[in-house]
Amino acid sequence: MNQQKVNKVVLAYSGGLDTSVILKWLQNEYGCEVVTFTADIGQGEELGIARDKAIAMGVKPENIHIEDLRHELVSDFAMPVFRANAAYEGYYLMGTPIARPLVAKRQMEIARAVGADAVAHGATGKGNDQLRFELGYYALNPNIKVIAPWRVWSLQGRSELVEYADAHGIPVQKDKRGAPPYSADDNILHISAEGKALEDPWLSPDEEVFTRSVSPENAPDKPSWVEIEFERGDPVALNGIRMKPVPLLEALNRLGGENGIGRLDIVDTRYVGIKSRGIFETPGGTIWQVAHRALESITLDRGESHLKDELMPRYAELIYNGYWFSPERQMLQALIDKSQEYVTGTVRLKLYKGNVIVEGRKSPFSLYSKSHVTFESDVVYDQADATGFININALRLRLIAQARHA
């Protein structure tokens, strides 16, 4: 292994098997001081366990950082993405790609504060997270040393991790010793499951994969209704009650989960070129996106909305591939945020057995004109004007037909 000299490293640490082994491996291989950083991004785990395990492995209490980043995740990362209606390859609402640059950002801030010369993560060499972490690291500090153990150590697979843990006194829960049926990633926006039992895209996932939602078949036989109020493209209230970003998303998650909303089974293409099958649950985010698009339908002009739709795949790809801090993502974000100046209003939705059904939308900036669209008589639109409009727009088509089909 080509080992660089490291004095102090900040490790993105979950307290699970992988990062616990990485912690001890860093201490053994580099002989350096390890600082752990554990982010609370709404994964619903007891994070005190991470502190206890780090202390048990010799990390000084002052070198253990556990921070609640849920508000920043929703307000500074999820909201900008949902203003864009971004979905990678048309479906994926990108709960994990949104969270990784936030973790990388805070990890780099801690590294700077404690005088660390390196950072480390537990992402594998096959996936996207290594890019999301490391492109973020280098964008924020081009001279930082990065340690990615899965790309350099000799350990191969879970059984060897367990053997290493046993040999070095790292506690491993009994239910963590066997090979898990899949790998899961969880935060306040979504939970995803990949690998193992899910690797065959033809096989249906077992119901036990789903932890945030009931199946649509088992959802209530009566629908639920919710009204979401937006200001400048961001949700600010549910059913007339103003809420901060985190409790608002949590409330949408509960509503979506109870009604079987937000389940997705997709095969997407990783940046490294591998196709991967994933099972995703994004109950609140699914409701949020449907409502946002419904409000845009009455507040954005055709040119604005169509341009946004043309740019969305490129914007989503940048985030999925790890380019959150790139200038091109920031440029697109400025355009997207400009488009949201008048996306203010309320959307009424019916939630029923996995479906999000728009039932009403209103805005003080609505471009919808009943006087123009009516089928009854009106004084604002001269239907005869359409003849000239059609003739002008048909001219090029008629000339092509005359020249090529005469």
Residue positions annotated with a catalytic role: 18, 100, 129, 183
The 10 Å CB-count burial string (b at 16+, else e) for 322-333 is bbbbbeebeebb
Q: Are 101 and 77 spatial neighbours (Cβ–Cβ below 8 Å)? A: yes
Bridge partner list, 351: 224, 356
The torsion angles phi and psi of 144, rounded to 5 degrees, stand at -70, 145
In the numeric block, the tokens 């150590």 are attached to 153
Q: Are 35 and 54 spatial neighbours (Cβ–Cβ below 8 Å)? A: no
CA 265 to chain centre: 16
For residue 88, give the DSSP letter. B
What are the CA-CA distances from residue 243 to residues 80, 236, 247, 249 (Å)? 18, 6, 7, 9
Report strand pairing: 118-120 vs 8-12.
parallel
In the numeric block, the tokens 């009566």 are attached to 222
Q: How far apart are CA 97 and CA 94, in angstroms?
A: 5
Helix (H) or strand (E) holding 224, with range, is strand 224-231
The SS3 call for residue 343 is coil
Positive or negative: CA dihedral 97, 99, 100, 104: positive
Nearest to 10 by CA among 28, 37, 50, 43: 37
In the numeric block, the tokens 């994933």 are attached to 278
The Cβ of residue 404 has, within 10 Å, a number of other Cβ atoms equal to 7
The SS3 call for residue 10 is strand
Q: How far apart are CA 93 and CA 86, in angstroms?
A: 7
Nearest to 13 by CA among 116, 121, 100, 169: 121
DSSP alpha helices (H): ranges in 86-156? 95-114, 129-140
